[in-house]
Amino acid sequence: MKLHGYFRSSASWRLRIAFALKGVKIDEQEFYPLRDGAQRAPDFLKINPQGLVPAIETDDGHALTQSLAIIEWLEETRPEPAFLPKDPIDRAKVRAMAMVVACEIHPVQNLKVLNAVKALGHSDDEATAWARHVNFEGLEAFEALLQNTKGPFCFGDAPGLADICLIPQLGNARRFGADLSGFKRILEVDAACKAIPAFANAVPDKQPDAV
């Protein structure tokens, strides 16, 4: 199993958590410093024509892309420990939380979008303010969803798909200076996840390519 990723990419971070929780060893990693455009190198475009990390190469030679698609594949092929509850309605609620991060927050504050904001003539500070607002507003919605579930994790007493998406996003939110102090349930989830090695070892600073 080979992971193509980057220490600071929060979608790569999701995969580091997910593989560790499932106990699936990543045998090899390749790192793509995004600011240098390494993810657009011809060899990597053969693996992911989108030129985005993360991607996975499986032991039997399949290239998989899009972190949530990879995590669903992991869940289907290695059911334990489960990332989704059993009841279909509960599964939809957990997936919806994951997608608040993956379809609402993350895409609008990544490096590509911030570069697009700057290309319109705005400063680094304005791009950071954009990212901070996107994170704050999105996490405010996430916190509202968490009012309907029990803790200490996003959905009950074990981590799952929603936690796997939330924790890396909190890393971004803090990097951009979003004030998370009012998000009590989110902070409860954050504390519960920090105590689990699969989460603790996945943080950017602990990766081999961290600078």
Residues of the shown chain interacting with its own copies in the complex, contacts defined by CB under 8 A: 49-52, 58, 62, 64-66, 68-70, 72-73, 76-77, 88-89, 91-93, 95-96, 98-100, 102-104, 106-108, 113, 116-117, 120, 122, 126, 130, 141, 144-145, 147
Shortest distance, CB of residue 174 to its own copies, whole angstroms?
Answer: 21
Shortest distance, CB of residue 66 to its own copies, whole angstroms?
Answer: 4
Quick one: which H or E segment has residue 56?
strand 55-57
CA 29, CA 57: separation in Å to the nearest integer?
10
Shortest distance, CB of residue 68 to its own copies, whole angstroms?
Answer: 6
Shortest distance, CB of residue 150 to its own copies, whole angstroms?
Answer: 17
In 3D space, the residue among 56, 49, 87 whose CA is nearest the CA of residue 72 turns out to be: 56
CA 88, CA 106: separation in Å to the nearest integer?
25
Return the number of the residue (29 or 48) whose C-beta is nearest its own copies: 48
Number of C-beta neighbours around residue 46 at 10 A: 9
Query: Based on the number of CB atoms within 10 Å of its own CB, is 122 exposed (0-12), middle (13-18) or buried (19 or more)?
Result: middle
In angstroms, the Cα distances linking 122 to 5, 88, 138, 200 are: 28, 45, 22, 35
Return the number of the residue (41 or 144) whose C-beta is nearest its own copies: 144
Return the number of the residue (153 or 196) whose C-beta is nearest its own copies: 153
In 3D space, the residue among 8, 187, 137 whose CA is nearest the CA of residue 129 turns out to be: 137
Return the number of the residue (96 or 200) whose C-beta is nearest its own copies: 96
Return the number of the residue (83 or 196) whose C-beta is nearest its own copies: 83
Shortest distance, CB of residue 195 to its own copies, whole angstroms?
Answer: 28
